[in-house]
Amino acid sequence: MTESSSRSGLFASLRGLAATGLALLQTRLELLAVELQEEKLRLANVAAFGTAAVIFLAAGIVFLAIFLTVLFWDSNRLLALGVFTTLFLGGGFVCLLVARRHAQTPSGLFAASLAELVKDRAAAEAEAESGTK
């Protein structure tokens, strides 16, 4: 084998390796983009339906409180107002604690991408080990 043919074979191998690496990188970036898009859509749906639910439930609770306060106006109006105030403040505090717990919980964003990168790394290390033996 001549020196020029071994050089061209080496350069061809390096070009092939670079092309494979770029293709792998492109695939991983596309996966990241898809995951970001899915997360964005999920968060938009949660925000939209969550906002609508809060508005409707808050309006319903306020009207229920007004209805029951007017119903007990002659006999126990202060008791009715006190009970509703306690319920609203207690419910708000519980929701605040739950929201805080959810905010502190880590997201699963990029889990699939990270798993694929771990597989790629393991495969590359296994290939490197088999190539050195």
The pLDDT value recorded for residue 128 is 66
Domain extents for the chain?
Answer: 3-127
The pLDDT value recorded for residue 16 is 82
The pLDDT value recorded for residue 2 is 61
Indicate the pTM of the whole model.
Answer: 0.47
Q: What is the mean pLDDT of each run of 10 residues along the chain (133 residues)?
A: 67 82 83 85 87 88 87 86 86 86 76 75 74 60
Which one, of 74, 57, 77, lies nearest residue 66 by Cα?
A: 77
- How far apart are alpha carbons 78 and 76 in whole angstroms? 6
What does the pLDDT look like over 24-50, one tens digit per residue? Answer: 888 888 888 888 888 888 888 888 998
Distances (CA, A) of 5 to 1, 2, 16, 53, 72: 7, 5, 16, 71, 99
